[in-house]
A and B are shown apart, each in its own frame.
Chain A
Amino acid sequence: MSDERTSIAMSKPAVGEAGRTGDWRNKRPVLTAEKCSAVKLGKPTCQLCWVYCPDACVSRGIGPEFDLEHCKGCGICAEMCPTGAIAMASEAVHGVCEI
Chain B
Amino acid sequence: MTGNEAAATAAKLARVQVVAAYPITPQSPVVESLSAWVESGELPAEFVAVESEHSAMSVCIGASTVGARAFTATSSNGLAYMTEQVWWASGARLPIVMCVANRALAAPWNVLNDQQDSMSVRDSGWVQLYCRNNQEILDTSVQAFRMAEQLNVPVMVCYDGFLLSHTVMPVDVPSVEQADAFLPPRPKPLQVVDPADPRNVGPVVMADPRRDGDGVMQPGYMEFKAMHHRALLDALEAVPAADAEYAAVVGRSWGGLTWEHLLDDAEVVLVAAGSVGVQLTLVAERLREEGVKAGVLGVRCYRPFPAAALAAKLAGRKLAIVFDKALSYGYEGPICTDLRAALCAEENAPAVFGVVCGLGGRDTSPGDLADSVRRAIADAHAGARTRATEWLGLRLEGGAL
Contact = CB atoms under 8 A, between A and B. Distances in A.
A16 interface: yes
B190 interface: yes
B212 A17 contact: yes
Interface stretch (B139-147, B217-225, B393-401): B217-225
Interface in B191-225: 191-192, 198-206, 210, 212-214, 216-219, 224
Interface string A1-23: 10011111111111111110000
B152 interface: yes
Nearest to B94: A8
B93 interface: yes
A48 B199 CA distance: 27
A9 B192 contact: no
Given A7-B93, A8-B92, A17 B213 contact: yes
Nearest to B224: A9
A11 B190 contact: no
A8 B217 CA distance: 14
Q: Is the interface of A mostly helix, strand, loop or mixed?
A: loop
A4 B150 CA distance: 12
A94 B48 CA distance: 55
Interface residues of B, number: 27
B217 A10 contact: no
Contacts of A12: 198-200, 212-214
A5 B218 CA distance: 11
A1 B217 CA distance: 8
B169 interface: no
Interface string A35-62: 0000000000000000000000000000
Contacts of A5: 190-192
Given A11-B199, A12-B198, A18-B203, A6 B218 contact: yes
A14 B214 contact: yes
B191 A8 contact: yes
B218 A13 contact: no
A55 to B, nearest CB: 13
B227 interface: yes
A18 B201 contact: no
Given A12-B214, A19-B210, A7 B152 contact: yes
A10 B93 contact: no
Residue of A4, A9, A18, A19 ringed by the most chain B CB atoms within 10 A? A9
Contact of B203 (A6, A7, A9): A9
A9 to B, nearest CB: 5
Given A7-B227, A14-B214, A19 B192 contact: no
A18 B191 contact: no
Contacts of A9: 201-203, 205, 218, 224
A88 to B, nearest CB: 24
A10 B218 CA distance: 9
Interface string B383-401: 0000000000000000000
Contact of A19 (B199, B201, B206, B224): B206
A10 B204 contact: no
B192 A10 contact: yes
A10 B191 contact: yes
A69 to B, nearest CB: 13
Given A10-B201, A19-B206, 5 more contacts: A6-B219, A7-B152, A8-B190, A8-B202, A17-B203
20 contacts: A4-B190, A5-B191, A5-B192, A7-B152, A7-B224, A8-B201, A8-B224, A9-B201, A9-B203, A9-B218, A9-B224, A10-B202, A11-B200, A11-B218, A13-B200, A14-B213, A14-B214, A17-B212, A18-B204, A19-B210
Interface of A: 1, 4-19
Nearest 6 pairs of A and B residues by beta carbon: A14-B213, A17-B213, A11-B200, A7-B227, A8-B190, A9-B205
